Chains A and B, each alone.
Chain A
Amino acid sequence: MKRKLKKREFLIEKLLILFAGITIVTTLAIVLTLFGETFQFFKEVPILDFLTGKTWAPTLVPKSFGVLPLLVGTLMIAVFSSIISLPLGLGSAIYLSEYAKTRTRKIIKPILELLAGIPSIVYGFFALTFITPLIRQILPQTQVFNVASASIAVGIMTLPMVASLCEDAMMAVPNSVRNGAYALGSTKMEVALKIIIPSTKSSIASAFVLAISRAIGETMIVAIAAGQSPVLTFNPLESIQTMTGFMVNMSLGEISQGTLEYKTVFAVGTMLFFMTLIMNLIARGILYRNRERY
């Protein structure tokens, strides 16, 4: 009886370690599969052509594998969506942590969570059927698929994440810090701008980087609203293709393993993986370096 119990305890612990190990196996599997196919890809396409080429036409004849159009498209989405998500997210956080009464906060937070919980496919639909027509009414030269509309939708989708990460940091600032300033007659705005933001700046910076990383990896909104034309442009009113958009587009058709198309998807995916990984590491690095202590 006792021996059995001890053995069970031992086995359970080993089982739980095994479970935890699956997360490591997942990472290894991601890296290995991405690397494997990408390595094969670069056997056929010179890496320099890939990174510096300005024409992306992997399925046309003649084939061309210059990834710059996809990269620029992706970065445009990231930059333009940040114009929405960063200031609005930060603003919401300041309001929630510094101005809102407890009851107001209890109403607004679930609304932001709902915004965060809406699937990106729904935002994509909203961008295509509402935001795009609106933009085209104001700027008729806008193409049906365009960067601006997708960026606005991506920005709205990442806004709640920025808001909640920043708010968490701001709520962690002890009231004694605020009260010191209020005692000197500071207004709420002065406290927010001169005390709260400076003392949470690393959390804010980290939230910003994470939001941009999210935008880079966002797929369905851009696949629906930004278009599928890999042209190198900086005009937000034109149609483009992002890295994720390309990957989805290729997968909609049958692509068989071993073909160059298949490897191309993995090469682009590897690039995406590394971009987001580096940004996530930066975000955590910022937090780790400047941990706020009170």
Chain B
Amino acid sequence: MEKKLIRRRRLKNALFQGALISIIVFSILILLLLLYQVFKVGLSHLSLSFITSMPSRFAARAGIASALAGSIWTISLTILFAIPLGVGTALYLEEYANKKSWFTKILEINIANLAGVPAIVYGMLGLAVFVRFLNFQRSILSGALTLALLILPVIIVASQEALKSVPSTLKEGSYALGVSKWQTITGVVLPYSLPGILTGSILAVSRAMGEAAPLIMIGAAGYIGFMPKSPLDSFTVLPIQIFNWTSRPQAEFQDIAATGIIVLLVLLLTMNAIAIVLRNKYQNRMD
């Protein structure tokens, strides 16, 4: 009787484990299917001329040059704005702020809430503040500022985690030599936490690179026939170009949308891979 019960419990456990494994297999399968679908549809159009050509009314001649340039411009500026602001805020919160003051508490609650605000709402903020109020128009600058605010909370939180991991004995070692706070931050704290900060920042930036919604809100164009030359030029980015092609009824445009996705994914995967390598190196050192 008891043996039977144990056997039943073991069987249940095995079934449960089987169910969980199928969930994992399902996730992996989806990822593979997604990549397969994109490559099956898009790979045949991938060529050098696709990357160097402007978009066109004819799918066969269309390329992503202006969108790729727009993405690179926008992301570079986003990095320029978001990383100093994010790391600076994290430094303030971890190294300077009095953890118990109401100002710090409000800051932290506010940052947590900002992290949950949908991307498209940042687009509305960008439209009202950068495009209209500051009159930057529908420019790369407006787009980069919008994306910077969008990923700021992610960078702050990741940097805070990295800063928390710096052993206090190292900071004390520096202070004991008569070295000032900021010098200790640049001399010990930042070098130690840099891999963690970089990992978080790269992941955040790659998220910004895949965003279309906020940039559509600020009025980034769907069609740009020239290469952007300054931050005040109008622009489009890869995700918007892909969206534009996907939403056309003709099948040829959906094919080149997939080709565009391949380019976007290669860029993102490269960034992600760098982040993962950095983190592994970092974790090994911590062990």
Contacts and interface: CB of A to CB of B under 8 A. Distances in A.
A and B touch in the complex (CB under 8 A): yes
A203 B221 CA distance: 41
A126 B152 CA distance: 29
Contacts of A122: 34, 38, 210, 242, 261, 264-265
A235 interface: no
Given A23-B111, A95-B21, A187-B10, A121 B92 contact: no
Nearest to A115: B31
Contacts of A126: 33-34, 37-38
Interface string A216-231: 1111100110000000
Nearest to A6: B180
B120 A26 contact: no
Interface string B36-50: 011001000000000
Given A128-B246, A251-B216, A213 B93 contact: no
Interface in B105-149: 106-107, 110-114, 116-125, 127-129, 132, 149
B117 A92 contact: no
Which secondary structure dominates chain B's binding surface? helix
A189 to B, nearest CB: 4
Interface of B: 9-10, 12-13, 16-17, 19-21, 23-24, 26-28, 30-31, 33-34, 37-38, 41, 84-85, 88-89, 91-93, 96-97, 106-107, 110-114, 116-125, 127-129, 132, 149, 152-153, 156, 180-182, 203, 206-207, 209-213, 216-217, 219, 222, 239, 242-243, 246-247, 254, 257-258, 261, 264-265, 268-269, 272, 276
Given A88-B23, A187-B13, A277 B216 contact: no
Contacts of B181: 9
Contact of B9 (A5, A187, A213): A187
A66 B259 CA distance: 40
B92 A110 contact: no
A276 B222 contact: no
Contacts of A110: 276
> 3 shortest A-B CB distances, which residue pairs?
A217-B118, A119-B210, A33-B128
B85 to A, nearest CB: 5
A220 B110 contact: no
Contact of B124 (A113, A224, A269, A279): A269
A283 B37 CA distance: 36
Contacts of A91: 19-20, 23
A16 interface: yes
Given A217-B118, A269-B120, A99 B128 contact: no
Contacts of A189: 12-13, 16-17
Interface of A: 5, 8-9, 12-13, 15-17, 19-20, 22-24, 26-27, 29-30, 33-34, 36-37, 87-88, 91-92, 94-95, 99, 108, 110-115, 117-126, 128-130, 156, 159-160, 187-190, 192, 210, 213, 216-220, 223-224, 244, 247-248, 251-252, 254, 257, 265-266, 269, 272-273, 276-277, 279-281, 283-284
A17 B28 contact: no
Q: Which among B17, B20, B41, B97 has the highest number of chain A CB atoms within 10 Å?
A: B20
B12 A187 contact: yes
> Chain A's interface: helix, strand, loop or mixed, by majority?
helix
B117 A30 contact: yes
Nearest to B245: A125
Contact of B243 (A13, A160, A220, A277): A220
22 contacts: A20-B88, A22-B152, A23-B114, A23-B153, A24-B107, A30-B117, A30-B124, A111-B27, A112-B27, A118-B34, A119-B210, A125-B242, A125-B257, A126-B34, A129-B41, A130-B33, A187-B10, A187-B13, A189-B16, A220-B243, A252-B222, A269-B124
Contacts of A129: 37, 41, 254, 258
A23 B110 contact: yes
B117 A16 contact: no
B116 to A, nearest CB: 4
A19 B96 CA distance: 13
Given A88-B23, A108-B24, A281 B113 contact: yes
A23 B27 contact: no
B89 A219 contact: no
